Amino acid sequence: MRALLNAVKTGFAEIWAHKMRSVLSFLAIAAGSVVFIDAFSAIFATYDRLEKQKEVSGMARLKITQNYSQTYASPDDYVAPPAFTYDDVVSFREKMPEFYMVSPEVKDWHDVVEYDGRRMVTNLMGVTPEWIKRDFVYKLRGRFIDWHDIENKLRVCVLMRKSAPPPTNGFFKSMMKKWNFTQGFDTLVAHNDLLGKTLKIEGFTFTVVGILEELPYSKRPNIILGSSGDYKVLAPLTTLSHFNFISPGQSLDVSIDTGDEKTFDESLRRIKNFLKIRYGDDEFFIIENQLELIRERIGDSIKASLVTISLGMLAFIAGGIGIMNVTLATVFARTKEIGIRRAIGASRGDIMLQFIVEAVMLGLIGGVLGSAIGWLWGGPVKIMVGMDPSDIKAWMPLVSVFIAVLTAFVFAIYPAWVAAGLKPADALRAE
Amino acid sequence: MSIRCVDLIKTYEGGKAGWPALRGVSFEIKAGEFVAVTGHSGCGKSTLLNIIGLLDEPTAGQYEFNGRNVLSMSDQERSGARLGEIGFVFQAFHLLNRLSALGNVCLPLMYAGADSAEMKERAAALLHKVGLKGKERKTPLELSGGERQRVAIARALANSPKLLLADEPTGNLDSVSSREIVDMLFGLNAEGITVVMVTHDKEISARARRNIRLRDGRLEE
């Protein structure tokens, strides 16, 4: 233990005596730490998003949409795809009662809302109470649309309150301003408590029964699949149909959560069967498997992160070679000292320990430096340059320092072995 | 403390046959002796001293150090013997310039596993003994040649060796310092430490109890 302490003391003296050489060694190792932390935070952020995404989309989420891309030999052969109507949804639900969620939805774009003498544009979305089963990422005030609203086609609505946009750069800000037609509506909802109030949508009076508050961007899981729909005003699907917001021939998109991943394939088969029996051909519809999509995205993301990790490892190896080079140079520069130490009684082990401890100290300081830079880069710097900050866990810098130390240790073994192998008499003769 | 060498041969690598430094040297040194090793430059004096001090190995021959066959000793055992039983004083002092006088004397004590306070106390006492009281914090570069050699002697005495090997210790010193250092070595011999000293100085060899004279790698009777 005492020998180790003395080796540490001598190591500090050596590092201090050769500042430039030491700083370059630190930087070589630090580069590895920075890349490592960045790559690991990217991988873990992806895993986190997968978990959250699974929670939100359910373990077995599907979406049935109309297939607009059928090909025909001649325009005369074209048959308009049949619509998936609300009656179809009701029938589907009756046949699949064990599914966790069967949520039909339909969008109506660019509706004019009037409130307190102001007019603005918004999007309307017709849904049923099942909609709430998936997007619990929203915080609800008031109540959601219920079956009573659906059956009686009541003019009630739930408004979406947008959260503050994520930090972004000037270009995206200006693009948002240009293309976001519903900004006026967003501002209205953000700055007025509309719960219980009435507003006019395309001339029809609707009562606001609930406000869904969007979670902040940092806590939102749907980034991985892009926008899951820019919801503004949710209203009973039957009401929108009754008041002609949507035409009778318009097909509904149906989001389905079969509730059980194990029976997913069987459920899929039953859904296809239903479509085939009801419409004669299941090609009229596309069944999107969202879980598959999530997995693909995650896979891509992990592949990209693995490339970054390999780069981090290469950076560590380069740093290790740097340390090996520095340690070898130190051995040759201090050959006489090695001879002196051997002459006064130092064993081979003492000499090896000396050089390994010095290299490990270079690795340790470099690793700590790299972790600090990695943390700064992952957080404050990324935010400053308009990138998404990395989610750096507390253990990542620790592991990174450990790898830096381990790299330095491994790469110091050879030079230390060379130093310990010098014959005392030969070493003493060195100039 | 005893040294027994029989037919020591040391050949350095180089050329076809190598370069012979020692060509069959046999002698014995008993405890408490002061032996001067003399001879012309290149006759093998330093090589012999390195072999006696376990810094080098003979190419052939027998060497018994304190009754142990040196050729069968492991590196650990040799290091242990150098640490506890042998002290070295070199012509070029061989001090670590980065460390203070005290630090240099502490080194062998550190390798011997002494604790910090004990180490400093012992090192300071040795520096006082060699007449360097008050200069403990000076680095070798701040000391004169004579003072550096005193530090080297203090360092050699750190672990109370039975054998002191001095390789031309006065070679880099002026006459006054030389005399002081030689007196110090004779004083240590009087205390019971065996001293083997390589020297060119006839006056010193005349003072020594015994002389080993080398010529072209052989003993000259």
Q: Which residue has the tokens 């929108």?
A: A240
Helix, strand, coil in percent for chain B, rounding step 5 = 40, 25, 35
* Stretch B197-216: mean pLDDT: 90
Asked if B55 and A348 come within 8 Å (Cβ–Cβ), the reply is no
What is the DSSP code (8-state) at residue A381? I
* Stretch B182-207: mean pLDDT: 92
**Residues of B in Cβ contact (< 8 Å) with A348:** 75-76, 79
Res A54: pLDDT: 63
B33-76 pLDDT per residue, tens? 999 999 988 888 999 999 999 999 999 999 999 989 998 999 99
Distance from CA of B53 to the nearest CA of A (A): 8
* Stretch A22-45: mean pLDDT: 83
Least confident of A18-32, A162-176, B199-213: A162-176
Question: What ranges make up the beta strands (E) of A147-219?
Answer: 156-161, 198-201, 204-213
pLDDT of A431 above 60: yes
CB B218, CB B23: distance < 8 Å: yes
Q: Which of A336, A341, A425 sits opposite B50 (nearest CB)?
A: A425
**Residues of A in Cβ contact (< 8 Å) with B110:** 2-3, 6
3-state secondary structure of B38: strand
Give backbone dihedrals phi and psi of B105, rounded to 5 degrees, phi first.
-70, -30
**Percentage of chain B lying above the pLDDT 70 cut:** 99
Q: Which of A2, A424, A425 sits opposite B113 (nearest CB)?
A: A2
A366-409 pLDDT per residue, tens? 999 999 998 888 888 888 887 777 778 888 889 989 999 999 99
* Stretch B122-138: mean pLDDT: 93
* Residue A232 pLDDT level (bands cut at 50, 70, 90): confident
How far is residue A351's CA from residue A422's CA, in Å, rounded to a whole number?
10
What is the average pLDDT value for chain A, to the nearest integer?
84
Res A284: pLDDT: 82
Nearest CA in chain A to B81: A345
pLDDT of A209 above 90: yes
Nearest Cα residue to A56 out of A359, A364, A291, A377 = A291
Helix (DSSP H) and strand (DSSP E) numbers for chain B:
7, 10
* Residue A297 pLDDT level (bands cut at 50, 70, 90): confident
* Stretch B73-99: mean pLDDT: 93
pLDDT of A325 above 60: yes
Res A229: pLDDT: 56
Q: Which of A6, A13, A424 sits opposite B55 (nearest CB)?
A: A424
Nearest Cα residue to A373 out of A29, A3, A4, A111 = A29
**Percentage of chain A lying above the pLDDT 90 cut:** 29
**Percentage of chain B lying above the pLDDT 90 cut:** 75
C-alpha A315: how far from its chain's center? 25
Nearest Cα residue to A356 out of A398, A328, A337 = A328
Chain B: residues touching A (Cβ < 8 Å): 50, 53, 55-56, 75-76, 79-80, 82-84, 88, 90, 94-96, 98, 107-108, 110-113, 115-116, 155-156, 158-159
* Stretch B83-108: mean pLDDT: 93
pLDDT of A219 above 70: no
What is the distance in angstroms between the CA of the first residue and the CA of the last residue of chain A? 32
Residue of B45, B48, B91, B96 to mutate when probing chain A, most A C-beta within 10 A: B96
Nearest CA in chain A to B152: A344
Res A223: pLDDT: 42
A330-367 pLDDT per residue, tens? 899 899 999 999 999 999 999 999 999 999 998 999 99
In order of A89, A427, B88, B91, the CA distances from B127 in angstroms are 100, 27, 16, 19
How far is residue A99's CA from residue A161's CA, in Å, rounded to a whole number?
30
Res A282: pLDDT: 62
Residue of B79, B115, B116, B164 to mutate when probing chain A, most A C-beta within 10 A: B79
Asked if B94 and A428 come within 8 Å (Cβ–Cβ), the reply is yes
How far is residue A351's CA from residue A343's CA, in Å, rounded to a whole number?
12
Q: For chain B, what's the residue count?
A: 221
Distance from CA of B56 to the nearest CA of A (A): 6
How far is residue B59's CA from residue B13's CA, in Å, rounded to a whole number?
10
In order of A39, A374, A427, B28, B108, the CA distances from B52 in angstroms are 59, 56, 17, 11, 19
Res A70: pLDDT: 67
Query: For B62, left (φ over 0), alpha (ψ -120 to 50), or beta?
Result: beta
Give backbone dihedrals phi and psi of A110, rounded to 5 degrees, phi first.
55, 55
* Residue A226 pLDDT level (bands cut at 50, 70, 90): very low
Distance from CA of A383 to the nearest CA of B (A): 47
How far is residue B155's CA from residue A34's CA, in Å, rounded to a whole number?
46
Res A81: pLDDT: 75
Report the relative pairing of strands B194-198 and B34-39 from DSSP bridges: parallel
Res A224: pLDDT: 40
Annotated domain spans of chain A: 2-53+302-429, 61-260
Helix (DSSP H) and strand (DSSP E) numbers for chain A:
14, 10
3-state secondary structure of B136: coil
In order of A137, A162, A164, A192, the CA distances from A215 in angstroms are 6, 8, 9, 18
Nearest CA in chain A to B49: A425
pLDDT of A283 above 90: no
How far is residue B162's CA from residue A346's CA, in Å, rounded to a whole number?
18
* Residue A225 pLDDT level (bands cut at 50, 70, 90): very low
**Residues of B in Cβ contact (< 8 Å) with A350:** 79, 111
Least confident of A113-122, A179-188, A213-222: A213-222
What is the DSSP code (8-state) at residue A377? I
In the structure encoding, which two tokens stand for residue A234, read together? 């949710």
Report the relative pairing of strands B3-12 and B60-65 from DSSP bridges: antiparallel
Cβ-Cβ contacts under 8 Å between A and B: the total is 69
Distance from CA of A355 to the nearest CA of B (A): 15
Asked if A2 and B115 come within 8 Å (Cβ–Cβ), the reply is yes
CB A116, CB A195: distance < 8 Å: no
Asked if A344 and B98 come within 8 Å (Cβ–Cβ), the reply is no
Nearest CA in chain B to A338: B96
* Residue A78 pLDDT level (bands cut at 50, 70, 90): confident
Asked if A342 and B55 come within 8 Å (Cβ–Cβ), the reply is yes
Least confident of A79-88, A230-239, B192-201: A79-88
A348-376 helix and A2-17 helix, angle to the nearest 10 degrees: 60
Res A167: pLDDT: 67
* Stretch B147-171: mean pLDDT: 94
Least confident of A304-308, B94-98, B206-210: A304-308
How far is residue A311's CA from residue A136's CA, in Å, rounded to a whole number?
39
A132-152 pLDDT per residue, tens? 886 556 788 999 999 999 999
Distance from CA of B89 to the nearest CA of A (A): 10
**Residues of A in Cβ contact (< 8 Å) with B163:** none
How far is residue A163's CA from residue B138's CA, in Å, rounded to a whole number?
70
Q: Which A residues, 336 through 375, put their C-beta within 8 Å of a C-beta on chain B?
A: 336-337, 339-350
Give backbone dihedrals phi and psi of A77, rounded to 5 degrees, phi first.
-75, -10
Res B50: pLDDT: 94
Q: For chain A, what's the residue count?
A: 431
Res B220: pLDDT: 83
What is the average pLDDT value for chain B, to the nearest integer?
91
Res B27: pLDDT: 93
In order of A6, A388, A391, A429, A430, the CA distances from A355 in angstroms are 12, 42, 37, 20, 18
Distance from CA of A419 to the nearest CA of B (A): 14
Asked if A346 and B111 come within 8 Å (Cβ–Cβ), the reply is yes
Q: H or E stretch including B6?
A: strand B3-12
**Residues of A in Cβ contact (< 8 Å) with B75:** 347-348
In order of A152, A158, A205, A239, A255, the CA distances from A244 in angstroms are 15, 19, 14, 8, 23
Asked if B107 and A342 come within 8 Å (Cβ–Cβ), the reply is no
Nearest Cα residue to A409 out of A352, A370, A332, A342 = A352
Res A365: pLDDT: 92
Nearest CA in chain A to B112: A345
Res A136: pLDDT: 55
Q: Which residue has the tokens 């000391």?
A: B143
pLDDT of A121 above 70: yes
Distance from CA of A380 to the nearest CA of B (A): 42
Nearest Cα residue to B159 out of B197, B218, B109 = B109
